[in-house]
A = this chain, B = another copy of it.
Amino acid sequence: MAETMFGVTKIKAVGDLMRRDENVVIIGGANFGGLLHSQYIKPLFDEFDDRILRTPSAELGFCGLAVGAAIAGLYPIVTIGTGSFAFEAWPQIVNEAPNITYMSGGKVKVPVMFHALVGIRISGAAQHSARPQAMLMQAAGLQIIAPSRASDVGPLLQAARESERPTFWIDHALLFEETGGVEPGPIPALGKAAIVRRGKDVTLVGYSIDLVRCLKAAAKLEKAGIDAEVIDLRTLCPLDSDTICESVGKTGRLVIADECYPAASVASEIASIFTDKGWGLLKKPVKRLNFPAVPVPLSPPLELHLIPTVDKIVAAAKQLMN
């Protein structure tokens, strides 16, 4: 049912932010979904027609505009479109927005939210499939949220808005049509992961589309008699190492699903926790499921072969149980 789609809830959450405060505006050259979902987004854009700055294909320019608008009293939600296009605006996203509060000794705030549909969207080929999130974790001063469940999207947006931090919203093209509980939860403390399924045998960590995959894997694992605990990171910066450590302290086993390339990825960061803070908690080596270090091929069987699928998560968890 359309009502329970993640995408629909997401659009409503954006609308709610805008209804609550007339200084919330949309800036950008895209919207919040792909071509297939414009029907769901159109009502939002119609409702707020005069609060949308429709821009040319000039990502660097309009992300910069959003920074300047945020400094001067607006709360811009920036629709970058495909995650790869964030690269065009990289100087503004990683070298302006996150530095300004610090560079002013805390006097200037940059409450802005960048939105992009990142990730392997299926047949986007090499240039339209970027996962910029791990790179963004290398920008101190930038908050990164990745709502993965419909119940979380509204509360996380609201929390990000209240934080007044420059924020990158890691959205995923394939999340739009996911369905699930939509009853919004309480507004979370930013940087607090959610345990979305309790289990005792193995910890599965995911975020965005990979969280969805982890949940599906957990269901399959249950049938195989394996009781998986599933953690939704929710925010990549701040990253909640406590919750992950707590869970692994119980299970001793960890599978991480992360569409990023392997090196210096979200998964590397999580795994590395266990060489320090989480020292001694692991009973088995960590299983990291990344997209291998290969540009994304167009051809469907090649692409599918490289994605961290549900089956791969299941297989990894089973290996850890042997």
Check B274 against A275 for contact (C-beta < 8 Å). Answer: yes
Q: Contacts of A103 on B, CB cut-off 8 Å?
A: 125-127, 295
A45 at the interface (CB under 8 A from B): no
Check A293 against B140 for contact (C-beta < 8 Å). Answer: yes
A162 at the interface (CB under 8 A from B): no
Q: Contacts of A194 on B, CB cut-off 8 Å?
A: none
Residue of A125, A138, A260, A286 most packed against chain B (CB within 10 A) = A138
Question: In residues 79-116 of chain A, which contact B (Cβ within 8 Å)?
Answer: 84, 87-88, 90-91, 94-96, 98-99, 102-103
Instruction: Out of B126, B261, B285, name the residue touching A275 (CB < 8 Å).
Output: B285
- The verdict on A275 contacting B276 (CB below 8 Å), with A103-B125, A295-B102 known, is no
Q: Contacts of A139 on B, CB cut-off 8 Å?
A: 261
What is the number of residues of chain A that contact chain B, defined by CB distance less than 8 Å? 52
- The verdict on A99 contacting B87 (CB below 8 Å), with A138-B135, A138-B261, A275-B286 known, is no
Q: How many copies does the complex hold?
A: 2
Q: Contacts of A268 on B, CB cut-off 8 Å?
A: 264, 268-269, 272
Q: Contacts of A263 on B, CB cut-off 8 Å?
A: 137-138, 237, 239, 269
Check B137 against A264 for contact (C-beta < 8 Å). Answer: yes
Kindly supply a per-residue 1/0 record for chain A positions 252-291, scoring 1 wherever the CB is within 8 Å of any chain B CB and 0 otherwise. 0000000011011111110110111001001001111000
Q: Contacts of A135 on B, CB cut-off 8 Å?
A: 134-135, 138, 264
Question: In residues 119-164 of chain A, which contact B (Cβ within 8 Å)?
Answer: 125-127, 130-132, 134-135, 137-141
Check B265 against A264 for contact (C-beta < 8 Å). Answer: yes
Which residues of A approach B to under 8 Å, CB–CB?
Answer: 84, 87-88, 90-91, 94-96, 98-99, 102-103, 125-127, 130-132, 134-135, 137-141, 237, 239, 260-261, 263-269, 271-272, 274-276, 279, 282, 285-288, 292-295, 297
**8 closest A-B pairs (Cβ-Cβ)?**
A271-B272, A90-B90, A135-B135, A275-B286, A99-B126, A102-B295, A137-B263, A137-B264
What are 26 of the A-B contact pairs (CB < 8 Å)? Answer: A88-B91, A90-B90, A94-B130, A103-B125, A103-B295, A131-B138, A134-B138, A135-B138, A135-B264, A137-B261, A137-B263, A137-B264, A138-B260, A138-B264, A140-B292, A140-B295, A141-B295, A239-B263, A263-B269, A264-B269, A265-B269, A267-B272, A268-B269, A272-B286, A275-B282, A276-B287
